[in-house]
Amino acid sequence: MAVLKQVGLPTAAVILLCAGCATSPEEESRRQAIETEIGMILAHPLDPSVYGETKRCLGDNEYRSYRRLDDRRMLFEGRNDKLWVNTLRTNCPDLRRDGVLVVRSFTARRICDGDNFSVSEWFDWPWYRRWPWHWGSWNTGMTCVFGEFQPVTEDQVAEIDLLLDSR
């Protein structure tokens, strides 16, 4: 209680909030081990004639859906059971939300390495923003950046899912 009187209540609240965000050395070590294992899974060489090469861009007609693997990776599912993992350039915590990718692409009808995107809720899309439902601007989350699209197998995805579920 003496500490609260010395630093003031707002400052103490910030200190306590930040202390809750700190990670323990064990937790950080575990996170690094998972990152290393995922890197090893993704480093497994695949036959380019069967799975294709790592791509800089995916055309709109090449993928049907996507899903979050973790804050840093997304899985894109394409035609003929093609799968690609995109390792984002930085963590993107907004991927936790279910929503729509709002992509700011430099190329028409495809998403590429270096393109920015944010995650938005379905009902924040402009066609739902008609009077009287929404006033104000279109809300989107933080801006994230795509990396390259690496082909993967279903087994690799299953290994990554299993590893991430074990956290």
Cβ-contact 66, 75 below 8 angstroms: yes
C-alpha R_g of the chain = 20
Res 80: pLDDT? 87
Res 129: pLDDT? 47
CA dihedral 50, 55, 59, 60 (to 10 degrees): 80
Say which DSSP state 34 is in: H
pTM here? Answer: 0.74
In order along its 167 residues, the chain shows pLDDT tens digits of 454 455 555 565 555 555 555 668 888 899 899 999 999 999 999 999 999 999 999 998 999 999 999 999 999 999 889 999 999 999 998 887 667 777 887 778 899 999 998 887 655 555 554 444 444 445 556 889 999 999 999 999 999 999 999 87
Res 22: pLDDT? 60
The CA distance from 23 to 89, in Å, is: 22
CB atoms within 10 A of CB 65: 8
Cis peptide before 10 (omega within 30 of 0): no
Res 6: pLDDT? 55
Residue bearing tokens 């799975």? 51
How many residues are there in the chain?
A: 167
At CA 151, angle to CA 116 and CA 106, rounded to 5?
25
Cβ-contact 104, 117 below 8 angstroms: yes
Res 37: pLDDT? 95
At CA 153, angle to CA 152 and CA 159, rounded to 5?
95
